[in-house]
Chains A and B, each alone.
Chain A
């Protein structure tokens, strides 16, 4: 399984795994696989929240269009 890029995707995938496992029609092999994938997503979601640091950039006009520059906000 490829790792979802955004928090939103990771959370949605986790929800999907939980639903899949809670449904009555999943064979055991797949129940185990769903659990494993769900576990990975669970870790990923927590990690994303724990390590996130707000990035603030400022849009500035450059010769080749617009550029986003880091903008410190204290």
Chain B
């Protein structure tokens, strides 16, 4: 080992010592000038992840044989969309630099994305946050589904069980609705555009659209996380119900759709009324119809009989007689028909009993009220319904008055 003499008057041939700072700069410039070390892309596992209070991240990237310290500064970390954590497999891009205070070579990361399954998750979160911030998932945007859809659009694969499942349910519950299949690819790189096109093609022809796909891996369902598809769903003029994968799968399409169904069959149930419920409802309405008319006829008959006994001018008798005949003819026929119909129908009159006491128009008259009408039958229920000079018909419980309006006075 030689001896180096350092003195204030060392001669010019003696080696010149670099300051530490100079060496550090030399290293820094060397690293910076090497194009292979700028904008590098590295794949590795995160370790020693830490975050400073002011938003910078520090960690190491490593594999089985080596590790490199890394820094991810706040600005670059802002659009991250995921939480870095130890053990996570990532892709980092950035520049190799020297951290001169410690004399360490480090990777200054400009962009960090999870690799593998994590990558899917990160892009999912990014899209979700973005659309959520725009308000596309807001509850106020959700539209109610039509009660009786006439035409139901189904965006799904032409092959496979999904359409079959949907049609099977609809056939059982609500065969009145037409199903319009708008075929689409439901996986692979072309599927987002294909789904979008299929939706746009069918949306003006139907009352609502089901966007559906059977179960699959996370990657299989990725098309339904597409941002452009989400926007197409959001701007669809009719309600959209999403039914993608299994019950536990959640996609961006689910967030933006007006309603999410756990499975395609469940979606078909959601959008359709049940034909059996409808039959009961109709039978019940038929029963109420009969009940009300029967009541009306009974009240009228009773009223007529009573007034017939009290007053007996010929004209009124004739009037009573003709009304009776009309009732007997019209009412009885109709009642017979209705009863037959109801017997043949599904539920008969059983559901009607409770509503048989429906108010009849004639009960009101018997309590002393009158009904005013024009001669064409238009009711006068408000002051503006009649004008001064109008001839009116006043129905009382036992006859009618023909009158003219002398004057009008509106309640204050």
Please, which residues of chain B bring their CB within 8 A of the CB of A6?
Answer: 148, 150
Contact B175 A54 (CB under 8 A): yes
- Interface bits B265-281 vs A (CB < 8 Å: 1, else 0): 00000000001001101
Main secondary structure of the interface of A (DSSP, over half): helix
- Indicate with 1 or 0, residue by residue over B287-327, a CB within 8 angstroms of chain A CB atoms: 01100110010001000000000000000000000010011
Q: Which residues of A contact B286 (CB under 8 A)?
A: 38-39, 42
Name the residue on A nearest B279 (C-beta): A49
CA distance in complex: A29, B179 (Å):
43
Q: How far is the CA of A65 from the CA of B404 in the complex (A)?
A: 65
Residues of B within 8 A of A54 (CB): 167, 170-171, 175, 177-179
Produce 1/0 per residue, A29-48, CB < 8 A to B. 11110011011001101101
Residues of A within 8 A of B176 (CB): 7, 48-49, 52
Considering residues B201, B289, B334, B338, which has the most beta carbons from chain A within 10 angstroms of its beta carbon? B289
| Interchain CB contact under 8 A, A18 and B345 | no
For residue B374, give the distance in angstroms from its CB to the closest CB of chain A.
11
User: Could you say which of B326, B355, B363 contacts A24, with CB atoms under 8 Å apart?
Assistant: B363
Known contacts A21-B289, A52-B176, A58-B181; is-contact A27 B373 (Cβ 8 Å)? yes
| Docked-complex contact A73 and B167, CB < 8 angstroms | yes
Assess the A30–B377 pair: CB atoms within 8 A.
yes
The answer on a CB contact under 8 Å between A24 and B341 is: no
| Cα separation A68 to B278 with both chains bound (whole Å) | 29
Collect the chain B residues with CB atoms within 8 Å of residue A46's CB.
279, 282, 345
Q: Is A1 an interface residue (CB 8 A)?
A: no
- Given known pairs A42-B285, A42-B286, the reply for A22 and B359 (CB within 8 Å) is yes
* Beta-carbon contact of B182 and A22 below 8 Å: no
B183 within 8 A of A: yes
Task: Say if the beta carbon of B127 comes within 8 Å of chain A.
Answer: no
Q: Is the pair A42, B341 in contact by a Cβ cutoff of 8 Å?
A: yes
Chain B residues with CB below 8 A from A73, complex form:
163-164, 167, 179
Residue from A8, A32, A43, A53 within 8 A of B341 (CB atoms): A43
Q: Which of B164, B181, B355, B377 contacts A29 (CB 8 A)?
A: B377
B296 and A56: CB pair below 8 A? no
Chain B residues with Cβ below 8 Å from A7 are: 148, 176
**Shortest Cβ gap from B182 to chain A (Å):** 5
A64 neighbours in B (Cβ, 8 Å): none
B274 to chain A, nearest CB (A): 11
Chain B 173-195, CB-CB to A under 8 Å as 1, else 0, gives 00111111111000000000000
In the assembled complex, the Cα of A24 lies from the Cα of B358 at a distance in Å of: 9
Nearest CB of A to B326, in Å: 8
Interface assignment of A15: CB less than 8 Å from any CB of chain B:
yes
Q: A43-B341, A66-B201 are in contact. Are A21 and B285 (CB under 8 A)?
A: no
Residues of B within 8 A of A42 (CB): 282, 285-286, 289, 341
**CB of B383 to closest CB in A, whole Å:** 16
Give 6 pairs: A residue, B residue, CB < 8 Å, sorted on A.
A11-B282, A15-B285, A32-B326, A45-B282, A58-B180, A58-B183
